[in-house]
Amino acid sequence: MELDVRPYHPTDEEQVIKLWQECGLVVPQNNPQRDISLKLQVQPELFLVGLVASEVVATIMAGYEGHRGWLNYLAVAPELQRQGVGRRMVEAATARLEAMGCPKINLQIRASNTAVIEFYKRIGFTMENVVSMGKRL
């Protein structure tokens, strides 16, 4: 399978949102159109899509604020999961963050999403004894 990883284009929006829905990433507190719009305002080059035969089959959003890098919206089409696509997407985002001088990547996973927790463990991420907090604006 030939996976082409490139920055998101506005013409990808429909396919990206459909993929996120298929992967269960669209929840009531996440408006995918808004999240895409906000990402395009800050480091849009770190919003990556993976394509097979011109079809969006994977995504990842990365960011770096000068202290830590972050990963969000990793999605892989269900029929392509467990084939190395997720790993390739994380590697592509990681390479871009490293090129920016990023020393560490953080991410947040819903505690109930044990399959994703195990995926990140397999590719070298470790659980840290920290408390994640947030405040909706």
- Its sign, for the CA torsion 52, 54, 59, 62, is positive
Cα–Cα distance, 35 to 3 (Å, whole number) = 24
pLDDT in tens, 52-97: 999 999 999 999 999 999 999 999 999 999 999 999 999 999 999 9
Sorted by where each starts, the structural domains of the chain and their CATH numbers stand as 4-122 (3.40.630.30)
- Smallest CA-to-CA distance from 64 within 45, 85, 87 is with 45
- Smallest CA-to-CA distance from 90 within 75, 77, 102 is with 75
Whole-number average pLDDT of the chain: 95
Average of per-residue pLDDT across 104-117: 91
pLDDT score at 16:
98
Query: What is the pTM (predicted TM-score) of this model?
Result: 0.93
